[in-house]
Amino acid sequence: MTNTPNKNNCPNYEKIKYILNQSPDLNCRTLEVGKDCIEVVFIKNLIKAETVNEYVIKFIQQLPEKDITYSYLMKNIPIDEVKIDFKEQEIISSLLNGFVYIYLLKESKALLVNCANPIERSIEKAETESLVYGPKISFTESLSSNIQIIRQNLNNSNLCTDELEIGERVKKKLRIIYIKDLTDEDILETLKQKLENITTDDIIDSSVLSQCLEDNHYSFFPQFIMTELPDRFLYSILNGRVGILLDRSPVAIIGPANFFSFFESTEDIYLRWSLSTFIRFIRFFAMAGSLLFTAFYVAILTYHFELIPSKLLIVIGQSRSQVPFPPLLEAILMELLIELLREAGARLPSKVGQTMGIVGGIVIGQATVEAGLTSNILIIIVAFSALGAFSAPIYEMGTAIRIARFPFIILAGVWGFNGIMIGVCVLVVHLLKLTSLNRPYLAPLYPFRKKDLKYFLIRLPHHFYRKRPVVNRPLNVFRIGWKFKKTGNDLDEF
Amino acid sequence: MKSNISFVNAYIAFFIIHTSQIGMGILGAPRIVFLEAKQDAWISVLLSGLFISVIIWMIISILAKYENCNLYEIHENLFGRFIGSIINTFIVIYFIAALYSIIISYVELSLTWGYEGVDEWVGVLALLLVTIYAVSGGFRVIAGVCFLSLLMTIWLVFVFYQPLESINFTRILPVMSATPAQIMKGVFKTSFTMLGFETLFFIFPFIKEKKKLLFFSQLAIWFTTLIVLITTVISILFFSPKELEIHIWPVVSMISTVHFPFLERFEFIAVPLWILVIFPNLCLYLFISSKGLKQIFHLKQKHGIWLISIIIFITSFFVTKRVDNNLFFDQVGHVGFYLWFIYPILLYFISIIKSKIFSHS
């Protein structure tokens, strides 16, 4: 408590008012206690009025005259968070964060006490990532309640929550969350370096932050996992990843991400291994189909209708006989239509949105076929690929696939299956080139990590998971899983 | 410069060597070997596998003498900067020619099987651009391409179970009817297909555990030999001798008999899939030739790959006749034979002699 602030650093009410541009929200109660005068400065709408009344104003008024000194107040004011050593800039930002500035005129010393009353949404069920099974809680906009959720779920002294501030004009708090004896220091160092290099006036949301942190800004693919589910967040942290929480943003960032982690859902762990393996394959298949099926349709009908068995060819031929467009144009039209429906469904008010989506889909789908603008087969394929893209557990990966589909369709129209294969080559090379926090994106497939496949491609019974995935380079590979005891009994014993 | 080189594990060498061996050649290999050695073609294939196995051993012992050097650097080391550069220029020209012949023969294949209307230059341009994109990612990406390419195409081997249903075992009899000279000619022809193991000369500095390299490269060439052997034997059993002589790409013709309930003509899938098979070849050859340009002319690799691609693209406009192309592929194959089957033996002895002289003085 030897810190005594410099006299010049403690402005009085007038000066603060000047700095805050004569804001009408800025209030000052001047308390006259004996010979001394105390200014209690705060911003009206940001503080909790009861706290200020009870624990600041009433407290000071009840004090005997001799106790009204800076050092006594500093030690005894009944509020949990008190700041005593600060710079002028910090006073303003603290005031704007809901602190109360108590200025002792005689001593010209001041202290800041926290009486903030942040607007908080109550903790609710997750909206964008829905689980059938497992915890339903989701992050909210408040950093402190997010930290609370994490701390309550992960009771470990090595859980670090390093605080940083980001933004030049609008300062925002940011927490880097990791487990100290698990997370690789290189990854942490890279992340911190990247965060330091961000010089921007403001970061609106964590999704913007994640885009700033990406290694390749031109890629279609998300390079960080964005999640609003604490359990997913904690699962990743426990496997040696790093998480970032930004204040005022309900979506957490997890890195380093790899391609396959976007197809994981925490539900895969909660469900039995057989089902989750099956579901994961369905997801991969849906993704590949969503990316390629429409392109196949275009390629087959433009170049290689010999490929189709004759019975199927008759069906397709009949349904396409009325269509005046080449397959490429037809497919792009339908894909755009589906995207339009999706976008309209997302933008419309929720009640109207759903009806519009269904009615629009059925009416437009039916009508276009009956009018002879598209074939039935294409409607099925387009609907399948739309469904496939939505099956991604992480929304951003679904959007990436939806966008990446269009180049494939165009390539298929230009050079048939060869075009698609060229597209696949580009995609493979692109995924090989991508990195997330300098870790390879296509791991554990390349570089090949056999033991990690059970994390990212399939699921096995839980006793197989005694080691953490090595793609994140955890410092401590072993998780002590429960021992699967083999009984040495013979068939006729028990 | 050597410090920030990107290393890969030794097992990746298996994928690199194998995928650079398998390429356009295997599609036509059964026919050209059959033309020389008749139904004993499989003996030629096995012999050439044995031959390469010995050469691989020699290559590795040459490379082991010069730690972390590729062939270009070894040449400069052995013959001095001037003569070394001349040999290196020759090698770079060979690789550019090989790259050119792979691209042209693929485009020719794809034009034959399904794309009669498409212009040739579209294919050449597309293949070149993808290759440039991959090579500009550096060796790590190329190694990944080799790895994934094999993973994504190895299942094509199982497609042969359908032609297996209509084979005739008597066609391989009588065994050993070809004269040794015919069989040796067969070995010579097989070597065109098996070329690609020379990439070992250039990937050596990138491999982490160099002691395991011999094992994995042997594994790779024997795996290649096995696959060439399987395709040759199945082709011989499947086609009658006269048929086999007229099918330029017997493997594709054989695949065209494959049916699935949902696919009538599988070759229209297989031919585009072949892009994935030749893709590692393209990447490696472009990488190696641009590396050579860097060694000789100190031209940055990222500029070198563009220069080479532009050369190939422009040349592709001039040579358009099937006959000319064939002649060209044969020439490249011949040069490749002497360069990678005969020359390593020479180099092996030169390096031994030179090291002996040095150790004496």
Give residue-wise pLDDT tens across range A220-269. 999 999 999 999 999 999 999 999 999 989 999 998 999 999 998 888 99
Strand order across the beta sheet in which A172-179 lies: A159-166, A172-179, A242-246, A252-255, A225-227
- What CA–CA distance (Å, rounded) separates A351 from A364? 20
Dihedrals phi, psi of A478, to nearest 5 degrees: -80, 125
- What CA–CA distance (Å, rounded) separates A56 from A50? 9
DSSP 3-state of B57:
helix
- Estimate to the nearest angstrom the gap between the alpha carbon of A168 and the chain centroid: 22
Prior bond to B250 cis, omega within 30?
A: no
Top pLDDT among B48 and B267 is at: B48
pLDDT tens for A267-324 read: 899 999 999 999 999 999 999 999 999 999 999 998 888 888 888 888 888 888 888 8
Whole-model pTM: value is 0.91
For residue B115, the chain A residues in CB contact (below 8 A) are 303, 415-416, 418
Shortest Cα–Cα distance, B134 to chain A (Å): 6
- B145, B279 in Cβ contact below 8 A? yes
> How many residue pairs bridge chain A and chain B with CB atoms within 8 Å of each other?
89
Amino acid at residue number A134? G
pLDDT at A312: 85
For residue B8, the chain A residues in CB contact (below 8 A) are 447
> 10 Å Cβ neighbour count for B107?
24
Contact at CB, A306 and B268, closer than 8 angstroms? yes
Q: Which of A22-26, A106-110, B190-194, B270-274 has the lowest mean pLDDT?
A: A106-110
For residue B133, the chain A residues in CB contact (below 8 A) are 426, 429-430
Domain B10-352 fold is Amino acid/polyamine transporter I (1.20.1740)
Does the pLDDT at position B117 exceed 70?
no
- What CA–CA distance (Å, rounded) separates A294 from A387? 13
> 10 Å Cβ neighbour count for A358?
12
* ipTM of this complex: 0.93
pLDDT at B5: 64
Contact at CB, A421 and B273, closer than 8 angstroms? yes
Does the pLDDT at position B112 exceed 50?
yes
- B224, B21 in Cβ contact below 8 A? yes
- Domain-wise residue ranges, chain A: 7-114, 143-257, 276-440
DSSP bridge partners of A173 = A165
Contact at CB, B130 and A422, closer than 8 angstroms? yes
Name the residue facing A426 among B110, B122, B133 (closest C-beta): B133
pLDDT in tens, chain A (494 residues): 344 444 456 788 888 888 888 888 888 888 887 777 888 899 988 888 888 888 888 888 888 888 888 888 888 888 888 888 788 888 888 888 888 988 888 888 888 898 888 888 888 888 888 888 888 899 999 999 999 999 999 998 999 999 998 988 888 889 999 999 899 999 999 999 999 998 888 899 999 999 999 999 999 999 999 999 999 999 999 999 999 999 989 999 998 999 999 998 888 999 999 999 999 999 999 999 999 999 999 999 988 888 888 888 888 888 888 888 899 999 998 899 888 888 887 788 777 766 776 777 777 777 877 888 888 889 899 989 999 998 888 888 999 999 999 999 999 998 889 999 999 999 999 999 999 998 999 988 988 888 889 888 899 988 888 888 888 888 888 887 666 666 677 777 76
- Domain-wise residue ranges, chain B: 10-352
**Residue of A381, A401, A403 lying closest to A391 (CA atoms):** A401
